[in-house]
Structure 1
């Protein structure tokens, strides 16, 4: 119905802001319209971005099926560490918005692309905003490049103004326009609670049970905030399903969250038998783009997890926050994709009216170290003046620049260092990990460094089934070492290789076979990057100290020491931290000094992936970052010091 309108506006304007209701076919139909209209001719590619990996993969698969083509040929997808495209034949390429920024580093003007579609732009992910700023710059050089900003809920006028290159009052010279498209979704009845619920997890489980017992056939999608909550609800509903077996319709309960292995994520798209009701317990990964067949009932707990970076403390954590009205609308819309449905909101209508219209853009609540590094690599030296759709605070930008300067990626003038800074920008990893790998040759442990980096990309190497926790913990202790999590992950990988990558061996030792195979693929890609830089692969041959020193080279900014109060405190900012329960150091004797990979914020601030270090290394390896001596000596700026711990 809107095909001709879309194609006409794209011929006339450089940018089309498309506001399409849920079910309007934004994700699946528009790419095909563009291909059929010839935007993929003469070797050009139509690029479509999605904020999440699973959406990029599933939408690409769906369009390939609709067109009867093999995935990876005419229709392909590219996500971090996984490229399923053909350089010659792919005409529609789905990717994450982070991958698009990587493409820009290889091809700054995106010369092989004719159209870029930024889908689900209302989510305002970090790389969506960066992509918008970069694409606006490219349009000044490439008048032929077309951009489509698509979303179900979007502040359309704001983006139309952002992309409009017309600086006069004559609207006929506008380069950006807005088109609103009606959806094909079915009506959804929205139910609110009469009073606030004391515990939304309990309320979600109870709501699923009540739907199963009282409402007609139809699958259920329940939104929770994170993996822990999904797994808790999963255990309770599996027990409930067992008790209900033999009494009418069966219940199949499936989880869906970002750290779930890909093959388990895909289970939610499988069709169930006639006498089986599917219940999907999901994080906001299922909020947009993907359509799960059969969903008629949605349960919205009213909360989601957001990344939140504090420029003052330097802590980048995850917090549970109320959803926005835009997110609530998207969640409810999942119930009306295939037939009329019901959405149960576990909060009152009064509370809904108090919710913010939209979530704070990720750009304004993220650590910007990686983003700044990539912008610098693209030739944008003055990142503070870069044209972002929603500018981050100067404090956050300065913190990101400070990190890059400390890691040696930028010099005194804010320019990328050669070769370290340029190579760090080329790595599809955070700057700390990239530095660890790039300096590993000095310690003779490149082989081990890329293994550790690859293993850290897979978050769920150890399985811990609810009914086999004791056995799983015992198996984990076989690999655990006093040095901490990084060397433990190295041991797991080495044992996996020495046991011929056996899936049976993984099962016996409660290890994630698919995750280990993925880490193997990632490691191969990192190895290829090192060969590209002509850096030799060296092994430490069992010298653990050299590996630990190499880890400190990347993570000296993430150092903490044990405090008499019973917690850890970061050295630079004196923030209180705790050991995450999944760490191998959680149940061992106290280690005075550690470095960590990341912080998880869940009630308390937890350190994940920790390594025990010698405090002297901090000053030896990062004298520009740490001062040496007691606080009094440092305050007095004495030249000679007598004590041996950094502060």
Structure 2
């Protein structure tokens, strides 16, 4: 090709000529990339955060800590790290670290910023989440979950490779958020050059500024922390309430979504439900209706969005819908603040959310379905006013809204503190009771956490980490009870099977359960082929063992199993085994000895024991709390065993146990004699 070509390079307005060595396809692609880059630049400049760019850089030069308050969607999560790189904060090999409370937020934001920077994900821009590290030595902007940053502190207590740490979505006040804020405050005293940005959509900014402000005098010119508010870009939103409370909010969400689709102008719908099961049920019902829509009418595209969904499925909610098609995204509270979905005009709010709750009396972690706070309800409503005037349909009365609490209590005040204490001990903070938390946790929760760690053998009589058990548990990215199972598996010769079970537990959505009809019956029959009387954990082991021999999608479809979830479990299992090798824990198989596997599970999960009471319900050994087997468990339809171990508790209309294992009472006395007494076990 010898003719002169004219084209624009990405990010450059100069015209280049005389390029005879470039063919027409390359030129077309080059021009496309140029337009794509220019479009992104224009889009970035329209974000509300753009006009605050120089203010952010100036305040970081002057102060150690900056509380950045701005609505979700204003660009603070994606643009601020780029402004800092452009201002030179990534020089000398330093990294800008951004923490996110959820894995999906870390991966989706890293993808977005890599696209804007025009680089391959994992190079200049990368992410690191549990069992998945997509970074290299050239990474300048690193998105990660809070747990990853906490583990990095164990190897590098002063975080010397970071120039700036951005704590994103602080208003969620997760357990790890509060721990990291307390630790960063200590690090700043030793390392004055470390800058911190506390980024949030809705937060008590003055409280956090005062927490990070090391100036004790009345002279405000010496303050080390300040606040910057960013104006949001939102349109008016009309809010509608129901006249009477709805009996079934999942069905009400589906009905409301269908009415919007029939009567309202084009625009996507975002509906909030509490958990994976409810989301899948609603999507299934909407899919049935979508299949009945006749040709020539606007089509319907129902999509699910929750944290444990495979990454490829999560990304679908960000894609633009085909022509004449309306997306209905059914999500958990992950879509409330962690991610921004474009083109949402209508929001349906069920009024509830699933939150973790810890009962000290029974020492059990629960997921309870509770009414949202006013702050959460307003945040959900704000999703509707991003592209044009929107409408919000609240499936509760206006009086019910007025009765809601202002904000959800920080997780620090309502959760099991054993994992937090373990991490703090590993970081060399011996006196946990005097640690400076942003929100002071209840003393009884701290004591219960110490008791659990002592029972697991992680700390000694003086409260110090034991070696090797305590040190090894702190190295593992698992809950203390599961970490103890993994450590014990090496000694008991079943680490091969235990790594498989724990990897399957991390995925959570192995089974495909259709919404109803013949498909549901077929799925139930298919799942029964793997079920065993020993419980759900051994069932998961059976499923993975069968999957290893038939690693094809058609086999998964035949038995109604999630192929993507099983592939993810394979990756986690591989990572877990490499962790065992690093910690010098032998990888052995017990060759089908189920008793040995169950005993190993008891060695870690013994605090989660429950027995069958003569009244016909299960009760916790401590606290006498009534429990029921969850309907999705393989033990739900068989004769009730006398003793069980559960992995988690779910609170809905009843208190359900999930992920169960059948055990014998004598194993508790054999493997945890310090925790149980024979008289206690034989009661009732």
TM-score by length of 1: 0.95
2:102–2:338 contact (8 Å) kept in structure 1: no
The 10-residue stretch of structure 1 (351-360 or 218-227) with the greater mean CA deviation from structure 2: 351-360
Pair 575,7 (structure 1): closer, same or farther in 2 beyond 3 Å? same
2:364–2:608 contact (8 Å) kept in structure 1: no
2:356 is the alignment partner of 1:307: yes
Q: 1:576 aligns with which of 619, 626, 645?
A: 626
1:104–1:378 contact (8 Å) kept in structure 2: yes
Q: 1:609 aligns with which of 659, 664, 667?
A: 659
Trace 1:43-442 onto structure 2 (pairs within 5 A).
43-86=93-136, 88-194=137-243, 196-246=245-295, 248-442=297-491
2:616 is the alignment partner of 1:550: no
1:578–1:604 contact (8 Å) kept in structure 2: yes
1:616–1:646 contact (8 Å) kept in structure 2: no
Q: 1:587 aligns with which of 637, 657, 664?
A: 637
Identify the residue that residue 635 of structure 1 maps to in structure 2: none
Identify the residue that residue 471 of structure 1 maps to in structure 2: 522
Give a deviation string over 1:223-244, Cα, whole Å, max 9, x none: 1122232233223322332333
The 10-residue stretch of structure 1 (203-212 or 557-566) with the greater mean CA deviation from structure 2: 203-212
* Per-residue deviation, 1:198: 4.7
Identify the residue that residue 536 of structure 1 maps to in structure 2: 586
Give a deviation string over 1:302-329, Cα, whole Å, max 9, x none: 2211111111222211222222222122
Identify the residue that residue 5 of structure 1 maps to in structure 2: 55
Pair 21,572 (structure 1): closer, same or farther in 2 beyond 3 Å? closer
User: Which whole-Å CA distance do the structure 2 matches of 1:248 and 1:495 have between them?
Assistant: 44
User: Which whole-Å CA distance do the structure 1 matches of 2:284 and 2:577 have between them?
Assistant: 40
1:27–1:289 contact (8 Å) kept in structure 2: no
Identify the residue that residue 480 of structure 1 maps to in structure 2: 531
User: Which whole-Å CA distance do the structure 1 matches of 2:101 and 2:510 have between them?
Assistant: 24
2:95–2:161 contact (8 Å) kept in structure 1: yes
2:544 is the alignment partner of 1:493: yes
* Per-residue deviation, 1:195: 5.1
1:24–1:185 contact (8 Å) kept in structure 2: no
The 10-residue stretch of structure 1 (197-206 or 382-391) with the greater mean CA deviation from structure 2: 197-206
Q: CA RMSD in A?
A: 1.7
Secondary structure of 1:239's counterpart equals helix
2:501 is the alignment partner of 1:452: yes
* Per-residue deviation, 1:412: 0.3
2:677 is the alignment partner of 1:618: no
* Per-residue deviation, 1:21: 2.7
User: Which whole-Å CA distance do the structure 2 matches of 1:194 and 1:543 have between them?
Assistant: 59
* Per-residue deviation, 1:646: 8.2
Give a deviation string over 1:142-196, Cα, whole Å, max 9, x none: 1000000111211000000000001111111110001111123333333344554
1:462–1:511 contact (8 Å) kept in structure 2: yes
Q: 1:42 aligns with which of 92, 115, 126?
A: 92
Secondary structure of 1:574's counterpart equals coil
Secondary structure of 1:439's counterpart equals helix
2:100 is the alignment partner of 1:33: no
Pair 90,576 (structure 1): closer, same or farther in 2 beyond 3 Å? same
* Per-residue deviation, 1:138: 0.6
Secondary structure of 1:28's counterpart equals helix
2:356–2:414 contact (8 Å) kept in structure 1: yes
The 10-residue stretch of structure 1 (45-54 or 565-574) with the greater mean CA deviation from structure 2: 565-574
User: Which whole-Å CA distance do the structure 2 matches of 1:190 and 1:280 have between them?
Assistant: 19
User: Which whole-Å CA distance do the structure 2 matches of 1:22 and 1:622 have between them?
Assistant: 48
Secondary structure of 1:2's counterpart equals helix
Secondary structure of 1:594's counterpart equals strand
User: Which whole-Å CA distance do the structure 2 matches of 1:111 and 1:213 have between them?
Assistant: 57
User: Which whole-Å CA distance do the structure 2 matches of 1:465 and 1:416 have between them?
Assistant: 47
User: Which whole-Å CA distance do the structure 2 matches of 1:521 and 1:583 have between them?
Assistant: 25
* Per-residue deviation, 1:4: 0.7
Pair 194,576 (structure 1): closer, same or farther in 2 beyond 3 Å? closer
* Per-residue deviation, 1:222: 0.9
The 10-residue stretch of structure 1 (211-220 or 99-108) with the greater mean CA deviation from structure 2: 99-108
* Per-residue deviation, 1:291: 1.9
Secondary structure of 2:214's counterpart equals coil
User: Which whole-Å CA distance do the structure 2 matches of 1:489 and 1:308 have between them?
Assistant: 26
1:23–1:185 contact (8 Å) kept in structure 2: no
User: Which whole-Å CA distance do the structure 1 matches of 2:370 and 2:646 have between them?
Assistant: 26
Identify the residue that residue 646 of structure 2 maps to in structure 1: 596
The 10-residue stretch of structure 1 (412-421 or 284-293) with the greater mean CA deviation from structure 2: 284-293
The 10-residue stretch of structure 1 (616-625 or 596-605) with the greater mean CA deviation from structure 2: 596-605
1:409–1:417 contact (8 Å) kept in structure 2: yes
Secondary structure of 1:272's counterpart equals coil
1:618–1:646 contact (8 Å) kept in structure 2: no
Pair 205,99 (structure 1): closer, same or farther in 2 beyond 3 Å? same
TM-score by length of 2: 0.90
* Per-residue deviation, 1:23: 3.1
**After the TM superposition, which parts of structure 1 deviate over 6 Å for at least 4 consecutive aligned residues?**
none
User: Which whole-Å CA distance do the structure 2 matches of 1:518 and 1:320 have between them?
Assistant: 28
